Structure 1
Amino acid sequence: MDVEDVHHSYRQHTVLRGVDLRLRPGTLAGIVGENGAGKTTLLKILSGELRPDRGSVLHHGRFGYCPQSVVLDDSFTVRQHLELFKNAFGLADLGRGEEVMEALAFTEYLDQRAGLLSGGSRQKLNLTLALMHDPDVLLLDEPYQGFDWETYLRFWELATRLRDAGRSILVVSHLAYDIDRLDLLWRLESGRLHLQERRTEAAS
């Protein structure tokens, strides 16, 4: 994903003042920022939901997006959600989705209705739907919200495997958790991204 000189304002209030970001294959990166820093606006622009006033966002390959707000039909079972997204993505089977569910210890809920799932389980489904078409670039908004400690660790194991398989992953959060797991960490402040941390392996 290549982001160049992205600006955005709401009337007289400038939120983004020239955001530049390059996410290479095989990178696990994070963006943190306090409430009101512009994370929501940046996320909408990166996901294509909002057009920037100036600048460009280019996705290379398949793109996946896991929003913080879970978009599910409470009357559908987990399996029905997977079938719906399988058809939307034009997939031959549910193989990849089932792999993600197994990684998150979620397979036993296949025939459970979404409305009966706990908050953490709904987030597991949300993440599965974002990953089931095996995207090359994955944008995650507070992806571990509602996870218990075991699932939290499973999430990072999954993210690391995806990175090692050449995928690009961007985690956006208001707090910097486990920054030692990241190759790159930016802080969104005053409308710009500021590089905070970088692993030695990523710099070589």
Structure 2
Amino acid sequence: MTTTIAAPALEAHDLHKAYGRHRVLRGADLTVDRGQLVAVVGENGTGKSTLLKALAGTLPADRGEIRLTGRLGYCPQDPVLNLNLTVDQHLHYFAAAYRLPDLAHGRELVARLGYGQYANTTAGKLSGGTRQKLNLTLALLHDPDVLLLDEPYQGFDWETYLRFWDLVADLRSRGKAIVVITHLVFEQDRFDTLADLVDGRLTPRTTTRAADHADA
């Protein structure tokens, strides 16, 4: 009997990116399996957002290869919102772009992240934390298989932070591959792998969570 090994949800090999003479990525490698949660950790200015933009396809790498399986969801650090549109109008706009049959999933996400009372409020009048909730909702609207999150809980209060991790746990249990970019990791054992971005390369660290799963 032949056992079929599923291909990784996301693979990046030998990624290079430079801005003029400043070499930001110098051969970065990253592999993320289905149901795996990976944190890319590095100080500000180390190229974390550049890496995520390259993985998302919004910034071309100078060299290297990226392979993606399934639908991609990308949540940039700075929300890409129209400040004159309401929360509900954003849901309608993105649902039409994704050709979704209805807004059921979007409204479920809004309720889960706890900002349903702002449905008719324009993005320009939302707090920074609530804009980030909308930013995350739009990235998840089409139920992506691979999710790239750049500092996703920036501006969240404690309750929303916990809601975020409950949501991530559900996504992981459904086999979604998730990459979180952060400069600080407060709870390392929420992640399967920590990948340190130093001098343009990624060095993975196995967390206690991953080791416990391997021993189980």
TM beyond 0.5: yes
Amino acid at match of 1:42: L
Indicate the RMSD between aligned Cα atoms, in angstroms.
1.3
Match of 2:43 in 1: 34
Q: 1:2 aligns with which of 6, 11, 25?
A: 11
Aligned length: 204
Unaligned runs of 5+ in 1: none
Does the CA contact (< 8 Å) of 1:183 and 1:202 recur in 2?
Answer: no
Q: Which stretch of structure 1 is more off in the superposition, 102-111 or 135-144?
A: 102-111
By how many angstroms is 1:179 displaced?
1.0
2:120 and 2:163 mapped to 1: Cα distance?
22
Match of 1:192 in 2: 201
Amino acid at match of 1:72: L
TM-score calculated relative to the size of structure 2: 0.90
Does the CA contact (< 8 Å) of 2:49 and 2:150 recur in 1?
Answer: no
2:213 and 2:42 mapped to 1: Cα distance?
22
Does the CA contact (< 8 Å) of 2:36 and 2:192 recur in 1?
Answer: yes
Q: 2:93 aligns with which of 74, 84, 88?
A: 84
1:202 and 1:58 mapped to 2: Cα distance?
26
Match of 1:99 in 2: 108
1:83 and 1:63 mapped to 2: Cα distance?
19
Amino acid at match of 1:15: V
Structure 1 residue 146 corresponds to structure 2 residue 155: yes
Structure 1 runs (4+) deviating above 6 angstroms are: none
Unaligned runs of 5+ in 2: 1-9
% of aligned pairs identical?
53
By how many angstroms is 1:175 displaced?
1.1
Match of 2:58 in 1: 49
Q: Which stretch of structure 1 is more off in the superposition, 111-120 or 85-94?
A: 111-120
| TM-aligned CA distance change 1:194 to 1:74, over 3 Å | same
SS of 1:134's partner is: coil
Match of 2:171 in 1: 162
By how many angstroms is 1:11 displaced?
2.4
Does the CA contact (< 8 Å) of 1:101 and 1:107 recur in 2?
Answer: yes
Does the CA contact (< 8 Å) of 1:96 and 1:132 recur in 2?
Answer: yes
Structure 1 residue 75 corresponds to structure 2 residue 84: yes
Amino acid at match of 1:83: H
Amino acid at match of 2:63: R
Q: 1:62 aligns with which of 66, 71, 76?
A: 71
1:16 and 1:77 mapped to 2: Cα distance?
38
Match of 1:117 in 2: 126
TM-score calculated relative to the size of structure 1: 0.96
2:214 and 2:105 mapped to 1: Cα distance?
31
By how many angstroms is 1:87 displaced?
0.4
By how many angstroms is 1:201 displaced?
4.8
1:9 and 1:31 mapped to 2: Cα distance?
19
Does the CA contact (< 8 Å) of 1:28 and 1:160 recur in 2?
Answer: no
Match of 1:137 in 2: 146
How far does the alpha carbon of each residue in 1:153-176 deviate from its partner, in whole angstroms, 9 at most, with x for none?
110110111001110111001111
2:18 and 2:59 mapped to 1: Cα distance?
12
Does the CA contact (< 8 Å) of 2:35 and 2:175 recur in 1?
Answer: yes
| TM-aligned CA distance change 1:202 to 1:13, over 3 Å | farther
